[in-house]
């Protein structure tokens, strides 16, 4: 049995381009949805990315969420559909666009598996998330419900804390570059997060698509060496730069007080930081080996937190 043909939607985005690379690297015939020029506009970066995919051997498929028929025709070309539209409010939030895609997959009738745009914390386990951040998980659950009601085979990929958003700023809200003088510690800094390199997320995701063990399940990416508290992350950075940072503790009340000055997208992000760093939503996450990617695919050498931070030294 040959490897599945894969269609990636949102392939020029932050996660999408990594999924395209991983799909090609693992030997899948890979298709990437190309939106019409009326939608791409003069975004030269997206055009260059699409051209680079074609040079690497991917097929570009003209389609649009605004043209339902084109979605159906694109889906008919492949066995697996992976969607990577943005779910990050500070960039763009397009999760519910997938409802059109679910309808197209249902009509086409040929798709063996759909992997929707998830890749963060498991929406099912975030029912008590803080508002307005809860909207991210509520929208993902709407899409899940549509997938399951349509009878579409699926895999949900939960990668917890995407490294660039969390590790780059040493888990400080609103920071994506590590400091060299002082660091804000959220709460006592001892609640654990789970941090995953974006390229590793893509590699594990593509690993799941032909694996019967992952069908109709949520697969969690929880690399054991990357389950760390904020203070442990800071310590790894201090070791790399050979310097101890001045620590400033930020209480929960003071953290939440800053919310009033933020726009909606930033408030969503603040809510996620609150849930992980102040409430410890990931500290009680219990995952069996049969549902955890690094156990399912031990041949993948995942990037440790220390290795990820080395790029900033």
Known active-site residue 140: yes
Residues ≥6 apart with Cβ < 8 Å to 175: 168, 169
CA separation for the pair 8, 29 (Å, rounded): 11
Determine the Cα–Cα distance for residues 55 and 74; give it in Å rounded to an integer. Answer: 20
Annotated catalytic residue: which of 46, 106, 134, 140? 140
* Eight-state DSSP code of residue 3: P
Q: In whole angstroms, what is the distance from residue 296 CA to residue 300 CA?
A: 9
How far apart (Å, rounded) are the C-alpha atoms in residues 282 and 247? 23
Least Cα distance to 222 among 142, 299, 153, 302 occurs for 302
- Residue 247 is encoded by which pair of tokens? 């620590």
Q: Where are the alpha helices (DSSP H) in 77-125?
A: 98-108
d(CA 101, CA 66): 11
Active site residues: 140
């Amino acid at each position: 049995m040959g490897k599945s043909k894969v269609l990636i939607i949102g392939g020029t985005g932050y996660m999408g381009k990594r999924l395209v690379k991983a799909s090609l690297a693992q030997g899948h015939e890979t298709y990437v949805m190309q939106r019409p020029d009326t939608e791409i506009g003069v975004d030269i970066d997206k055009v260059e990315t699409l051209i680079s995919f074609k040079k690497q051997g991917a097929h570009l498929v003209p389609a649009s969420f605004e043209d339902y028929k084109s979605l159906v025709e694109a889906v008919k070309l492949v066995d697996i559909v992976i969607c990577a539209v943005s779910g990050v409010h500070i960039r763009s939030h397009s999760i519910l666009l997938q409802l059109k895609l679910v309808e197209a997959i249902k009509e086409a009738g040929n798709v063996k598996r759909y992997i929707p745009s998830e890749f963060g914390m498991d929406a099912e386990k975030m029912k008590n998330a803080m508002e307005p951040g809860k909207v991210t998980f509520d929208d993902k659950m709407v899409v899940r419900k549509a997938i399951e009601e349509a009878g579409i085979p699926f895999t949900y990929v939960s990668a917890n804390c995407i490294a660039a958003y969390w590790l780059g700023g040493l888990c400080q809200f609103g920071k994506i570059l590590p400091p060299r003088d002082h660091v804000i510690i959220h709460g006592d800094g001892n609640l654990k997060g789970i941090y995953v390199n974006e390229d590793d997320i893509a590699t594990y995701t593509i690993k799941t698509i032909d694996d019967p063990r992952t069908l109709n399940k949520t697969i969690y990416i929880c690399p054991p060496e990357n389950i760390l508290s904020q203070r442990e992350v800071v310590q790894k950075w201090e070791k790399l730069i050979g310097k101890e940072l001045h620590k400033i503790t930020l209480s929960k009340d003071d953290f939440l007080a800053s919310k009033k000055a933020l726009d909606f997208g930033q408030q969503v992000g603040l809510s996620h930081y609150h849930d992980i760093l102040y409430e410890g939503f990931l500290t009680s996450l219990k995952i069996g080996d049969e549902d955890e990617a690094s156990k399912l695919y031990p041949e993948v050498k995942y990037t440790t937190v220390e290795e990820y931070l080395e790029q900033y030294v």
